[in-house]
Structure 1
Amino acid sequence: MEPVHVDRAIRVLVVDDEQLVRSGLRMILQSAGDIEVVADCTGAQAVEKILGHRPDVVMLDIRMPDVDGLTVLRRLQAAKGTPLPVVTMLTTFDTDEYLATALREGAAGFLLKDTDPEQLVRAVRVLAAGGSALDPSVTRTVIGGYVEGTDDAQEAKKAAGSLTVREQEVLALLGQGLSNAAIAGRMHLAHGTVKDHVSAILSKLGGLNRVQAAVLAERAGLTRTSDEGYRDRA
């Protein structure tokens, strides 16, 4: 993942039904120095806390006994007129059937709760900078479930066909999980140019996030799923 520079602390809110998990994530994230955990709560309190604290990133447990993560995500989407934070789903399962649904609902990341602390911190930084983070161990589940729930490959090819040739090249590399910096290096372009291309691509594809666009690239045959999965790499 590319280094991320911020002018202020990244504000994070953690949602999980287990106090021990919330405390552990808080300790890991705040030890980074540039991340502030502004609150932690259960699913039942999540929407109120998120709208009240306006965090940059929400780490949202996908399975909770009171109000699950998918319900929280949908309620946030229904909060009209409110800028939504970047949401990454937390799970203990690499075969969680809800992951693909979360992707369709707008989640920008998927992380296992036992993710290495350093990787967890780097993922939050990438998410705060507008990127996406997908643990490689859940890639096949997300891609498989999402593809099964979408229209056939012809629809994906039609969507990709609305892009310029250069944008399709960028989309193919985005689909391989490359960060903007890595795409710039591969294509010998300025970082800002790639950032503009990615923004245009996501807009033309109907406001998709990076993970959704990566899946579309796979579905359209622009790239193939790598063993490392869809994630930001340096």
Structure 2
Amino acid sequence: MDYFCVVSRDDIAERWSQALQKELKRVDPESLAGGPSMLGICLAHWDCLQQAGRERLLKQAHDTKLLLLVLTDHPKTDQGREVIRRGAKGYGNTFVTASLLMEMVKVVKAGDIWAGPEVLQSVLRQLLEQVDPPTETLVERFGLSEREAEVLAEVMAGVSNKVAARRLDITERTVKAHMSAILNKTGARDRVELILLAQRAEQNAV
């Protein structure tokens, strides 16, 4: 998998490269408008991008398999909610510690979303308000098992894997395994896409 970084500052590019212990293919923010599409993981320094560059990256993340991690000097819940809703897979601080940056990449590569709890809960709450009922159509359409349906119901309630595990009296690892199976069966790439899929399924079922 290729690793890219969209950044104008050498010190930030070097910081990210050292943290991940990988050579990042550096993309000039000014070349985004007419440059080729990227495939792989892209770390983008949001503060160095003009609006047009941000829009192109978000469109690419939404339309392709680009795993976009938005990093900003001053994270805000509203901004995080917006970029995650529009296709980014990660949102955090530009100067996050090396261990947390590695964790962010690991989570995103595994098909989940990485952001602060306030951002994720805000995204999920906003989306879940539009889904009612949230699970029945997906369970029937994709042939989910009884346990997968239970895990899906917890996801649609907006809870974390840890809380879902406690409620269902199973391990967190088992919840993650069921979530992987649900994503595979439905074709959704992450929780946000799963909720949007449920929303469309319910609207079509009416």
TM over 0.5: yes
Distance in 2 (CA, whole Å) between partners of 1:187 and 1:142 is: 18
- Give the TM-score normalised by the residue count of structure 1: 0.61
Q: Residues 191 and 94 (structure 1 numbering): CA distance in 2 closer, same or farther, change over 3 Å?
A: closer
C-alpha displacement of 1:99:
2.1
> What SS does the aligned partner of 2:78 have?
coil
Give the C-alpha shift of residue 215 in structure 1.
9.5
Shift in Å, 1:24: 1.1
Give the Å deviation of 1:115. 1.7
Match of 1:23 in 2: 14
Measured at CA, do residues 62 and 70 of structure 1 come closer, stay the same or move farther in structure 2, by a change above 3 Å? farther
Retained in 2: the 8 A contact 1:176–1:214?
no
Q: 1:72 maps to what in 2? A: 57
- Give the corresponding residue for 2:103: 122
| TM-aligned CA distance change 1:145 to 1:124, over 3 Å | closer
Decide whether aligned partners of structure 1 residues 92 and 11 sit closer, same or farther in structure 2, where only a CA change above 3 A counts.
same
Give the distance between the partners of 1:86 and 1:110, measured in 2 at CA.
Answer: 11
- Unaligned runs of 5+ residues in structure 2 are 140-145, 199-206
Q: Secondary structure at the match of 1:98?
A: helix
- Of structures 1 and 2, the one scoring higher in RCO (CA 8 A, sep 6+) is 1
- Give unmatched runs, 5+ long, in structure 1: 1-9, 31-35, 218-234
2:58 alignment partner AA:
L
Distance 1:59 1:77 in 2: 15
**Number of matched residues?**
185
Which residue number in structure 2 is paired with residue 158 of structure 1? 133
Rate the CA distance shift 1:127–1:92 in 2: closer, same or farther, 3 A. same
User: Does the 8 A contact of 2:5 with 2:43 survive in 1?
Assistant: yes
- Give runs of ≥4 in structure 1 deviating > 6 Å: 47-50, 214-217
Q: Does the aligned pair in 2 maintain the 1:12–1:58 contact within 8 Å?
A: yes
Q: In 2, are the aligned partners of 1:14 and 1:37 still within 8 Å (CA)?
A: no
Q: Does 1:85 align with 2:66?
A: yes
Q: Deviations over 1:10-55 (max 9, x none)?
A: 531111232221121112111xxxxx33412232334766636x3x
Contact 2:7 2:48 in 1 (8 A): yes
Q: Which amino acid aligns with 1:124?
A: V
How far residue 173 of structure 1 moved from its aligned partner, in angstroms, is 5.1
Partner of 1:104: 85
Question: Deviation at 1:213?
Answer: 4.4
What TM-score results when the alignment is normalised by the length of structure 2?
Answer: 0.67
Alpha-carbon distance, 1:132 to partner? 2.2
Q: For 1:184 and 1:42, how far apart are their aligned partners in 2?
A: 49
Select the structure that is richer in helix.
2
